[in-house]
Every structure is written in structure tokens, then in C-alpha cells.
């Protein structure tokens, strides 16, 4: 801002200097004596100022060009306005210049007319004639004196000189030797003695016999006649000649008139002679004036265009910022005209927009806050929540929903509910249920459904409720669902535990008396019976004892399942436990091929080693017993889980015939077995131990057998 | 060295100073220049048509210095106005300072006598070695205003003489 002000002040100063120079230049050309000496300086200053002004204009054009290249806001309008100003201002300036030069040239020519010239020449001739007469008279007188002097003895000539001066009309007589030295001088004015000797250049002419007679201007605007004649020296002893100079004044009134004629004539001739130069000078000054007018018009054009465009440019920039969302724009109002009114209105609009935007922003923030709060609450829920509009599009799904349905946010949000089928075919019962309820406009409903995820099955309890809308009857439905699988499983586990506990308690008590009774019967009656009966009794009692033993084993297994001993956990690795379990089976069961792919170095786990050894034994036993082939291959591997952070996966894979579909669904439930002699509690106990250690277990078939996968948390210090 | 560069006596213009006649007495040093001075027809035409032209005669007295700028002791200048007196067809040279004037019938004679009209008289500073220099130049600022600009760029009006230097020994 300050820089612009200084720049404008400099331009203004330049313009003032320029106009002043031109004014004084004009005065100098018109003949003002005081400016004559500084004419060239004034002219130089004007040219320099025009040059500087020209440079300013060039700089402005360069600026305009550069801005146009950058396509700055408002620059096109500035260019257009500059162009308009230039086209408006240049023609009148050019017209005035052309007419002025034309007029000036004609006007200067009109100063000189033939009659005036003739009159002046005539008057000059008249003056010359008059002066010639005067000169002739003076010459006659001087010659007469010279003749008289020639007859006088030279030493006495000086004495006579004063006398001749008195007798003649001369004001000064001077006797000069042949060597051009003053011999004697007689003068009316004593102050002029020893002055006014004849110029050396005229002696030669007089020596050759030509007399010198000329009118001369004198100081003080007077005229005098200078006569120089030769004084012959025939009478002289030395026979040498001398010179006589006579100065004859011309009367003041004649001198003044002659001077006037001379001055007027000279002045006229001078102007006539300088006519061309005068025209040139005026033309140059007019050209300078035209250039200044043009350049000033250009400067003004730039300045006006920028002043006019400045608020428009500011408006454009502010509008752009508003479009970008920055509503708080205030443009300084620099004028009271329509542009000023426009700027004021813009400021008002901007202010209102800003306040509206602030309100909207606040409302939006509140809504966002509420949404965030709702999402936060929903994300904390263990129940899955879906919001579905009437177009069957899912608008919202919380994290539990995504987890239960095993879909990502992208796969659910803004997708048609029917699309979920394509992502996961196991969700079909759930999708069908929701669609049915959406279509029949049920207000509130609850239903259990089953979904599958690979080999896993999940039991979902689904509840739905219509979302009322102010304008429409309904705007969709909110669906809340819970994964009941674990709860159901837990309930089943608890029930089984209770069954096992009661079974163990009720069945275990009479077993010993049965066994003892059977053994007593055998001991008491075996020897007393016939061979045939003896055999029958023996086999019967043997069967009873064997079956009671079997029942005891079964009851003990149930008892183990039912009771939940306190865990004695410690931080340790699993590899040694796995190796020990494998070694035990490797020794006792020939033909089992174990392959161990254990993580090394192994992570530290927090486990009860006794319970975990039982888990390992049960799993190996289950694989061995479940296989009907002679050579059993079991692969035990461990690795860090990629799905759950800080968890270790232990995988048991065999090369058997795998699990059937039916078994797989209830594999970890008690009394589910494919073996004839098994209690069906092995895997149920395994699952229980895993869950006691905070892990989970799953089973599935692979290409050539079954796999049981255990995921356990790694110990965190 | 510097002085010879600055005040070299090489004559490169059309008009030049042939020599400086110096008359040295105990008290004064009188300098009379001898000029080779001619003017163009354009100048004569201007004078014949009533234009008064002024010439500036400048003379300077220096104490020469071999290794530094010369020390100026004194300088004098006067203006000589040349005009044409139509009534008697006389060319008049006037010393603008003293007011003295002299008429010439012949235009060429005027310029021949010009040196004799440019006599300078300096007080003798009684130095071992001195240097005088002289030049004559057109006073453009004294010309009529309308002629000043054309004269500036017209070579026919270039009648200035270069500086003429002369060593003298006043003692």
C-alpha cells in the first residue's frame, strides 16, 4: 500500500515537472529572456520526463501482460478497460495535435507578408541613403582636412588638428602614422581620447588609395561615421604619408530613427530566417505535449482501470473463497457509488452466509456428535444392529453386526440387503427373514434363525422394529440380532455338566455294590455248580464286572467333565508339553507318524500344564482312535494368529476320514462320538480346557482328514 | 601523464588555435591567440539575417603537475558577440564585458582578426613553470531560443576549438 502511494506520488511529481518544463519551454520559445539560457535544460528535462513516463507505461504493459499470462482474477477486465480508455483518449489527442500543427504552420507563415517586407526594405534603403549623404559629407570634410594637413609641416600638424576639429562637424580627429601609431588626437569629448582607433583591417585599403567611410553603431544605441583617409606627405620632409581618422556623430534623433529601422528590419529578417526553426520547435513542443497527453491518458487509463477493477477483483476473490467454504469475507468499502453499494451488499450477504454457515456447522457438529455418540454406543453393543430403509438399503451397521455377519463395513453399508447373500451365502436365512419382515410391514418382531459360516453354524436371535418418520408412514426398519450360539452352547454345556454330575453321582454309587455282589456270587456258587452252570455263572459275573468297570470308566469321565478344578496356571512354553505327549504316544503306539511344525522360538503361554497335557492327550487319542487305518499321520503345528492379535494357533491335522456333517455340528458336545467304545467326552473336555484358558476351538475337514484348531492368547507381562 | 591526456594539444576540430603569443613581464602575462577559424555558410547566413551569435573565449593559467591534476592559478573569459549592421553592411564584433566593439567590412576578415580581439591579461605569479590554455566556443545558450535545438545537432554549427596548451616560464 505504502509502496503504491510512493509510486503514485513519484508519477504525480514527474507529471508536475513535465508540465512545468513544457510551460517554461513555451515561454522560452515565445522569447522570454529569463528562460532563453535554460531552454536546452528545460527541453532535456521534458524529454527525460516523457522518457520516464514512457518507461512507466511500458512497465504497466509488461505488468498487464504478465498478469494476463497468469490469468489473475480481474486482469481481463483491466485489459479491456485500458483498451477502452486508450481508444477513447487517443483520437481526440491526435486530432488536436494534427490540427494544432497545421494551424501553427499556417499562422507562422501568415506573420510574413510581402508588403511588410517591402516597406521595411524601403525604409532601410531610405535610412541608408540618408546615412550615405551624411557619410559623403563627413568624407568630404575629412578629405578637405587631410589636404590642409598635407600642406602643413608635420611637426605642426598636431597644433592645427584642434582647429580643424572646431571648424568641422567631426567629434574626433586622429592623426596616425604610416606605421599605424597614433600621432595626435583631437576630440570634443576628452574622455574618448586614446580610444576608437581604426581597425587594423582597414589600413590596407586606405594605403592603396581607397578611403574608408562607414556608419558604425556606438555604445548607447548611437551611430557615428568613421572616415579614414590618407594624408599625403609630399610636403613633408620625410616624404612619408600619414592617416587621418575622423569620427562624425549622427544626431541623436537621426540615430534613434535609423536604429529603429535597423532593429525592425533585422528583427523581421531574423524571424523570416528562423521561420523554419520556429515551426520545427513548435512542432517538437506540440509533439511533446501530444506524447505527454497520450502517456498521461495511458497512465490514467491504467490507474482508472485498476481503481475500477480493484473492488471487482476483490469481489471475485472473495466469491471464490466463499465458494471454497470460507464465508467470513469482508471487503473494504472504498467508494460511495454503485460499486461501493455492491461491496456493502456483498459484505452483508457474506456476513449472513457466515452466520448461517456457523449455525449449520454447529447443527452439523451436534448431529455428528450425536451420530458419533450413537455409533460409539452401538459399537459397544454385543448385539448386531442394522438400519435398513424402505429401499432395502442398509444405512448403518455397527461393529457387532459386521462381526456376527462376518462382513466388512464396505460390504454392508449402502448395499441392498439382498446383496449380503452374494457376499456370504450362509446369510440367506437371515436376509430372507429381514426381507420378509420388511415386506409385510411388521411393526415389531422377534425370531431365531440359523446362519452358517463355512463349517460353523450360528444361531441368531433377530428382533426388528419399524422406524417411524414424520412425513412418511415408515422410513425403514432397525434390526437387532444376537449370536446365541455361545449362549446356547454354554447352556448346553451347563446342562451336560449337570447331567454328568448327577449321572456320576447316581450311577457311581451302586456300581461298587453291584461289582462286589457279582464277585461274591461267583466266589460263593462257582465251585458248587455243575460244569454247565459254572460256565454260565462265570461268564455272567465276568460280564457284570466288566460292564461295571466300563460303567465306572464312563462315570469317571462324566465326573471329570462335570467337575471344574481350579486352574494352576503358569507362564511357560507349549512345545515341551506337545513333545512329551507325542513321545508318550510314539513309544506306546507304534505306527503313528508325528510331524511337528512348532514355532521356534516359541511364545510364552499362561497355562495349567496338567490340564493342557490332558488336552493334548485327548486330541492325539481322538485322532488315533478316529482313524481306521494302520498307519496314522498326525501333524501338529503352531503359529502366530494373523486374525487375532497376540494369539497362538495350534493345529492338529490327521490323515483320517474326517468328521461327518452331522458330527461336525455337535462335535464338542458331550456324548458325540464316532467310536464304538468312546464316552463322547474327549473333545467336550478339550473344548472346556481351551475355554478355561480363554481360547477357542474349532474343527473342520481338510482334503484328507480332519483338523482341530485351537487359538490361545499369548502371555502378556 | 594525466595532464597530457586531459589537455592534449592535438587539434581535431575544423577550427583550432594555431598558437598562443605570450608576452611576459614582471607583473603580467599577456596572451594573444592565433586562430585558424572558419565558419560555415549556415552561420554566415544566420548572421546576415540578423542573428547575433556569441563566442566564449576562455583562458586558464595552470601550474603543471606531472602526477596529478594541474593546479589552476587563474582563469578568465569573455563573450564576443558577432552581428551584422545592415545600415552600413558592417560586421560588428562586440566584447560583451567591456562594451568595446569593432566593425569589419569583410566577413572573412572578422574571423581573421578574432584572435586579436581575444587578448587576456593575467597577473604574473612568478612561478618556474606555468601552463596556459585557451579555447573559443560557441555560446549556444545565447542564441535565439528556436535555434538552440537545431544548432545542438547540426555539425555546421560546430565551431568550437579544442583546448590549446602552452608551457611558459614566467621567471
DSSP line for chain B: -HHHHHS-----SSSEEEEEEEEE-SSEEEEEEEEE----HHHHHHHHTT--EEEEEEEEEEE--SSSPPEEEEEEEEEEEEEEETTTTEEEEEETTT--EEEESSHHHHHHSGGGG--EEEE----S-EEEEEEEEE-GGGS-HHHHHHHHH-GGG--PPPPEEEEE---
Q: Do A262 and B86 touch (CB under 8 A)?
A: yes
CA A514 from centre of chain: 96
**High-pLDDT (> 70) share of chain A, %:** 92
CB-CB neighbours of A472 under 10 Å: 10
Q: Which residue of A has its CA nearest to B113?
A: A201
Cβ separation B87–A201 shorter than 8 A: no
At residue A408, the pLDDT reads 86
**B166 and A CB contact within 8 Å:** no
Query: Å from B14 to nearest chain A CA?
Result: 24
| pLDDT digits 0-9 by tens, A176-232 | 888 888 888 888 877 666 667 887 778 888 888 888 888 888 777 788 899 999 888
Res A333: pLDDT: 81
Question: Rounded CA gap, A598 and A616, in Å?
Answer: 14
**Residue B94: closest CA among chain A residues belongs to which residue?**
A219
The verdict on pTM exceeding 0.80 is no
Instruction: Give the pLDDT confidence of A31-56 residue by residue, as tens digits.
Output: 656 677 778 888 888 888 888 888 88
* Cβ contact A29–B145 (<8 Å): yes
* Cα(A112)–Cα(A629) distance, integer angstroms: 145
Q: Give residues with Cβ within 8 angstroms of A78, minimum separation 6.
A: A64, A67, A305, A306, A309
Put simply, the answer to whether B145 touches A201 (Cβ < 8 Å) is no
Rounded to the nearest 10 degrees, the angle between the axes of helix A275-323 and helix A2-29 is: 170
A–B CB contacts, 8 A cutoff, strictly below: 105
Distance CA B67, CA A21 (A): 44
B145/A36 Cβ within 8 A: yes
Question: Beta strands A592-597 and A632-640: pairing type?
Answer: parallel
* Of A237 and A218, more confident: A218
> Which CA distances in Å does A51 have to A12, A44, A281?
15, 10, 19
Cα–Cα distances in angstroms (integers) from residue A574 to residues A565, A567, A609, in the given order: 21, 16, 9
Cell (9 digits) for A714: 499369548
Distance from CA of A222 to the nearest CA of B (A): 13
Q: Which residues of B touch A37 (CB under 8 A)?
A: 141-142
CA–CA gap between residue B162 and residue B136 (Å, rounded): 8
| Mean predicted lDDT score pLDDT of chain A | 83
| Region of residue A476 (left: phi > 0; alpha: psi -120 to 50; beta: else) | left
Burial (CB < 10 A; 0-12, 13-18, 19+), residue A82, is buried
Are the Cβ atoms of A270 and B49 closer than 8 angstroms? yes
If you search the block for the grid coordinates 549592421, which residue do you land on? B85
Rounded distance between C-alpha atoms, residue A136 and residue B36, angstroms: 36
For residue A116, pLDDT beyond 50: yes
CA dihedral A319, A322, A328, A332 (to 10 degrees): -10
Residue A270 C-alpha, separation from nearest chain B C-alpha, in angstroms: 5
- ipTM of this complex: 0.76
Question: What would the pLDDT profile of A481-503 be if each residue is shown by its tens digit?
Answer: 988 887 777 777 777 777 777 77
β-pairing verdict for B164-168 and B130-138: antiparallel
Q: How confident is the model at residue A565 (pLDDT cuts 50, 70, 90)?
A: low
Task: Render pLDDT for A410-452 as a digit per residue (tens, 0 to 9).
Answer: 888 888 888 888 888 888 889 998 888 888 877 888 988 888 8
pLDDT number for residue B6: 38
Phi, psi for residue A225 in degrees, rounded to 5: -110, 125
* Interface mutation vs chain A, best among B81, B90, B98, B145, most A CBs within 10 Å: B145
Residues A410, A511: Cα–Cα separation, whole Å: 61
Contacts of A539 (CB under 8 A, 6+ apart): none
A627-638 per-position pLDDT tens digit: 666 677 889 999
Give the pLDDT confidence of A328-387 residue by residue, as tens digits.
Answer: 888 888 778 888 888 888 888 888 888 888 888 899 889 888 888 888 888 888 889 988
In the numeric block, which cell numbers belong to residue B157? 554549427
Q: How confident is the model at residue B56 (pLDDT cuts 50, 70, 90)?
A: very high
Asked if A202 is an interface residue toward chain B (Cβ–Cβ < 8 A), one would say: yes
Strand blocks (E) in A424-573: 444-453, 456-466, 477-483, 569-572
| Number of Cβ within a 10 Å radius of residue A710 | 25
Which residue's C-alpha cell is 511533446? Answer: A288
* B95 touches A: beta carbon within 8 Å: no
| CB nearest to A262's CB, from B46, B51, B87 | B87
Model confidence band, residue A148 (pLDDT cutoffs 50, 70, 90): confident
Is a pLDDT exceeding 70 seen at residue B5?
no
Chain A within 8 Å of B108 (Cβ-Cβ)?
Answer: no
B3 contact partners, CB below 8 Å, separation of at least 6: B64, B65, B66, B69, B70, B131
CA-based torsion, B141, B147, B148, B152: positive or negative = negative
Min Cα separation A254/chain B (Å): 13
Contact B86 A265 (CB under 8 A): yes
Dihedrals phi, psi of A395, to nearest 5 degrees: -95, -30
Distance from CA of A109 to the nearest CA of B (A): 16
Tens of pLDDT, residue by residue over A652-676, are 988 877 888 777 777 887 765 656 5
- The separation between the first and the last C-alpha atoms of chain B, rounded to the nearest angstrom, is 24
Q: What is the distance between the alpha carbons of residues A331 and A347, in angstroms, rounded to a whole number?
A: 7
Instruction: Give the chain B residue whose CA is nearest to the CA of A214.
Output: B88
Residues 520-539 of A with CB under 8 A from B: none
B residues 5..24 contacting A (CB < 8 A): none
- Number of helices (H), then strands (E), belonging to chain A: the values are 20, 17
Amino acid at each position: 500500500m505504502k509502496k503504491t502511494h510512493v509510486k503514485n506520488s513519484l508519477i504525480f511529481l514527474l507529471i508536475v515537472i513535465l508540465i512545468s518544463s513544457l510551460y517554461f519551454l513555451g515561454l522560452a520559445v515565445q522569447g522570454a529572456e529569463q528562460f532563453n539560457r535554460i531552454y536546452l535544460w528545460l527541453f532535456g528535462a521534458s524529454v527525460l520526463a516523457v522518457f520516464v513516463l514512457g518507461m512507466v507505461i511500458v512497465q504497466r504493459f509488461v505488468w498487464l501482460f504478465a498478469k494476463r499470462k497468469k490469468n489473475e482474477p480481474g486482469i481481463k477486465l483491466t485489459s479491456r478497460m485500458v483498451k477502452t480508455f486508450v481508444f477513447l483518449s487517443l483520437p481526440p489527442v491526435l486530432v488536436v495535435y494534427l490540427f494544432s500543427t497545421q494551424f501553427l504552420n499556417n499562422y507562422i507563415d501568415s506573420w510574413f507578408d510581402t508588403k511588410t517586407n517591402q516597406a521595411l526594405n524601403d525604409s532601410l534603403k531610405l535610412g541608408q541613403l540618408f546615412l550615405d549623404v551624411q557619410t559623403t559629407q563627413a568624407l568630404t570634410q575629412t578629405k578637405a582636412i587631410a589636404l590642409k594637413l598635407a600642406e602643413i609641416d608635420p611637426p605642426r600638424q598636431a597644433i592645427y588638428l584642434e582647429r580643424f576639429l572646431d571648424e568641422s562637424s567631426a567629434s574626433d580627429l586622429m592623426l596616425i602614422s604610416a606605421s599605424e601609431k597614433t600621432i595626435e588626437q583631437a576630440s570634443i569629448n576628452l574622455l574618448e581620447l586614446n580610444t576608437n582607433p581604426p581597425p587594423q583591417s582597414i589600413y590596407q585599403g586606405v594605403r592603396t588609395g581607397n578611403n574608408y567611410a562607414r556608419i558604425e553603431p556606438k555604445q548607447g544605441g548611437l551611430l557615428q561615421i568613421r572616415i579614414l583617409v590618407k594624408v599625403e606627405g609630399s610636403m613633408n620632409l620625410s616624404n612619408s604619408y600619414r592617416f587621418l581618422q575622423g569620427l562624425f556623430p549622427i544626431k541623436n534623433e537621426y540615430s534613434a530613427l535609423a536604429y529603429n529601422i535597423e532593429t525592425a528590419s533585422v528583427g523581421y529578417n531574423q524571424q523570416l530566417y528562423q521561420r523554419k526553426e520556429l515551426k520545427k520547435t513548435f512542432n517538437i513542443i506540440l509533439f511533446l505535449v501530444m506524447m505527454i497527453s497520450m502517456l498521461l491518458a495511458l497512465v490514467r487509463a491504467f490507474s482508472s482501470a485498476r481503481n475500477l477493477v480493484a473492488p471487482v477483483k476483490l469481489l471475485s476473490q472473495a466469491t471464490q473463497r466463499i465458494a471454497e467454504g470460507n464465508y467470513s469475507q469482508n471487503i473494504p468499502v472504498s467508494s460511495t457509488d454503485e460499486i461501493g453499494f455492491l461491496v456493502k451488499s456483498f459484505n452483508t450477504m457474506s456476513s449472513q452466509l457466515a452466520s448461517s454457515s456457523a449455525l449449520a456447522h454447529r447443527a452439523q457438529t451436534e448431529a455428528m456428535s450425536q451420530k458419533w455418540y450413537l455409533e460409539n454406543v452401538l459399537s459397544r453393543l454385543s448385539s448386531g444392529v442394522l438400519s435398513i430403509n424402505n429401499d432395502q438399503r442398509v444405512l448403518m451397521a455397527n461393529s457387532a453386526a459386521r462381526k456376527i455377519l462376518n462382513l466388512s463395513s464396505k460390504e454392508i453399508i449402502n448395499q441392498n440387503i439382498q446383496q449380503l447373500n452374494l457376499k456370504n451365502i450362509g446369510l440367506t436365512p437371515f436376509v430372507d427373514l429381514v426381507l420378509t419382515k420388511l415386506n409385510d410391514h411388521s411393526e415389531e418382531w422377534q425370531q431365531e434363525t440359523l446362519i452358517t459360516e463355512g463349517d460353523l453354524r450360528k444361531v441368531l436371535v433377530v428382533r426388528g422394529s419399524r422406524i417411524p418418520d414424520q412425513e412418511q408412514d415408515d422410513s425403514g426398519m432397525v434390526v437387532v440380532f444376537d449370536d446365541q450360539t455361545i449362549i446356547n452352547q454354554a447352556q448346553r454345556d451347563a446342562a451336560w455338566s449337570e447331567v454328568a454330575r448327577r449321572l456320576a453321582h447316581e450311577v457311581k454309587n451302586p456300581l461298587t455294590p453291584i461289582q462286589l455282589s457279582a464277585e461274591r456270587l461267583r466266589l460263593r456258587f462257582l465251585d458248587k455248580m455243575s460244569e454247565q452252570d459254572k460256565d454260565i455263572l462265570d461268564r455272567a459275573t465276568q460280564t457284570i464286572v466288566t460292564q461295571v468297570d466300563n460303567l465306572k470308566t464312563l462315570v469317571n469321565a462324566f465326573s471329570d467333565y462335570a467337575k471344574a478344578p481350579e486352574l494352576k496356571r503358569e507362564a511357560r512354553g507349549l512345545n515341551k508339553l506337545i513333545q512329551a505327549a507325542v513321545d508318550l504316544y510314539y513309544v506306546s503306539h507304534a505306527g503313528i507318524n508325528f510331524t511337528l511344525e512348532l514355532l521356534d522360538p516359541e511364545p510364552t503361554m499362561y497355562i495349567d500344564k496338567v490340564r493342557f497335557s490332558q488336552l493334548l492327550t485327548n486330541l492325539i487319542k481322538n485322532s488315533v482312535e478316529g482313524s481306521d487305518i494302520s498307519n496314522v499321520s498326525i501333524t501338529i503345528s503352531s503359529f502366530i494368529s494373523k486374525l487375532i492379535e497376540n494369539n497362538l494357533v495350534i493345529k492338529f491335522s490327521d490323515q483320517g476320514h474326517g468328521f461327518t456333517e452331522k458330527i461336525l455340528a455337535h462335535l464338542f458336545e458331550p456324548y458325540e462320538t464316532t467310536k464304538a467304545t468312546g464316552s463322547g467326552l474327549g473333545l467336550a473336555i478339550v473344548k472346556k480346557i481351551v475355554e478355561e484358558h480363554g481360547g477357542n476351538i474349532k474343527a473342520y475337514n481338510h482334503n484328507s482328514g480332519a483338523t482341530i484348531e485351537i487359538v490361545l492368547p499369548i502371555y502378556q507381562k | 601523464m594525466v595532464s597530457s591526456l586531459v589537455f592534449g594539444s592535438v587539434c581535431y576540430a575544423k577550427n583550432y588555435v594555431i598558437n598562443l603569443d605570450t608576452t611576459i613581464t614582471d607583473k603580467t602575462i599577456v596572451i594573444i591567440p592565433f586562430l585558424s577559424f572558419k565558419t560555415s555558410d549556415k552561420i554566415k547566413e544566420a548572421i546576415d539575417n540578423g542573428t547575433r551569435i556569441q563566442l566564449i573565449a576562455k583562458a586558464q593559467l595552470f601550474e603543471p603537475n606531472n602526477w596529478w591534476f594541474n593546479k589552476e592559478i587563474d582563469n578568465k573569459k569573455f563573450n564576443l558577440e558577432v552581428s551584422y549592421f545592415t545600415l552600413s553592411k558592417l560586421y560588428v564584433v562586440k566584447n560583451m564585458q567591456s562594451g568595446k566593439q569593432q566593425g569589419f567590412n569583410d566577413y572573412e576578415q572578422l574571423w581573421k582578426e578574432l584572435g586579436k580581439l581575444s587578448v587576456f591579461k593575467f597577473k604574473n605569479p612568478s612561478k618556474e613553470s606555468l601552463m596556459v590554455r585557451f579555447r573559443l566556443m560557441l555560446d549556444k545558450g545565447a542564441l535565439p531560443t528556436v535555434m538552440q535545438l537545431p544548432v545542438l545537432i547540426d555539425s555546421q554549427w560546430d565551431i568550437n576549438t579544442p583546448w590549446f596548451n602552452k608551457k611558459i616560464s614566467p621567471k
